[in-house]
Amino acid sequence: MHMGILRTILALAVIVYHSYVFLGLRMCGGQVAVEAFYIISGFYMALILNEKYIGEGSYKKFILSRFYRIFPVYWFILLSAFLLSLVGYLMFNHPHYLARYIFNKECLSFFTILYFALENIIVLGQDICYFLRLDEFCNPLFTYKTLSYSHTGYQYLFVPQAWSISVEFMFYIIAPFLVTKQVKWQLGIVILGLFIKYYFANFHYLSFDPWTYRFFPFELSFFMAGSLAYKIYKIIPTNKNLSYVGYGLLSICILVVFLFEYIHLKDQVKASLFYCLIFISIPFIFLVFKHKPWDRIIGEYSFSLYISHHLIVSLFRNYFFAHPSYLYLYGYVVVFLSLIIAWMLQITLIKVIEFKRQKIWLT
């Protein structure tokens, strides 16, 4: 995968959102970064499903490819989070991600524990946990406003940011049936999806978390916008002068990500304009960087950064908030240690998995 610089910068924005500040900046925030990722993901799905995974057995290969790229790394981080929590509980009385299980062990039923255990393992459906509260008997119940309750489903996740993987996989499942359609149908889905999201946000007051970016039907339009961006890419002529356009648009995107808080517009307007910028930019950015190996290498760190950083956030949160004079260092520590973990994953687990994946594909 390419557009590596942009994807890694967006992953950095999520890391900063979950920690404190980096270079004195809050960057664009979690929601904006994740929805920008949705657009980029839609672009890639359209690209590979129209150009790579074609013909008999292609859908199976596509799903297996996504599985190999995501789940081994996720399961390694899941195991690490569990072990960190176990050691924290036994040695330091700080159970981290096990806290809810331990503090509510008297009322959690076997089936409730089993449900959350399965969600942690299979990932698919983790976004639903953000729509669950737990009643007085610790049984999960759907509610439209989980943040008004102190005991909620997502608090039982060991890799809480992995909910977005569940949303992406929902798109992967239906992507082959959508991204190969004519432009008019894809444009119709984008317009309809945006209208539905706007309607429920403004007339049914679903403009708060988790409805803002965790509810897949509201987010489908972002994925499909990425697919439309692929259509634009296909009609862009190959021209050396366009490289300046790609570099320029990438520079603007990066500046906006870093300086987002200093753009004096209403949040909804600012976010919408940024999504339009991403939509316009990615065909040109991909055109310029698709044959640059160093950009691909940078991009390979984006998922490892995203999926591992919350371990560091959890590990150091109490210390930095207990010592506010050092709080400005929190973001630096999380970013630096997340980069180290991502690098270690790249040269060990991911390298082995990629080798085996390529071997399977060639046999």
Residue 326 reports pLDDT greater than 80: yes
pLDDT tier at 345, thresholds 50, 70, 90: very high
Average pLDDT over residues 99-128: 94
How many other C-beta atoms are found inside a 10 Å radius of the C-beta of residue 74?
A: 19
Output the pTM of the full model.
0.94
pLDDT of residue 114: 96
Output the pLDDT for position 277. Answer: 98
Distance CA 285, CA 244 (A): 10
Q: Alpha-carbon distance 8 to 298, whole Å? A: 7
Query: How far apart, in whole angstroms, are the C-alpha atoms of residue 330 and residue 327?
Result: 5
Nearest to 125 by CA among 165, 76, 94, 87: 165
**Positive or negative CA dihedral for 11, 15, 20, 22?**
negative
**pLDDT tens across 153-200, in order?**
999 999 999 999 999 999 999 998 899 899 999 999 999 999 999 999
Comparing 21-30, 35-44, 113-122, 158-167, the range with the smallest average pLDDT is: 21-30
- Pick from 218, 211, 169, 227: nearest CA to 40: 227
**Domain ranges within the chain, ordered by starting residue:** 4-82+162-357
For residue 33, what pLDDT band results from cuts at 50, 70 and 90?
A: very high
Which pLDDT band holds residue 360 (cuts at 50, 70, 90)? low
Element (H, E) at 54: none
Q: How far apart are CA 200 and CA 332, in angstroms?
A: 38
At residue 58, the pLDDT reads 78
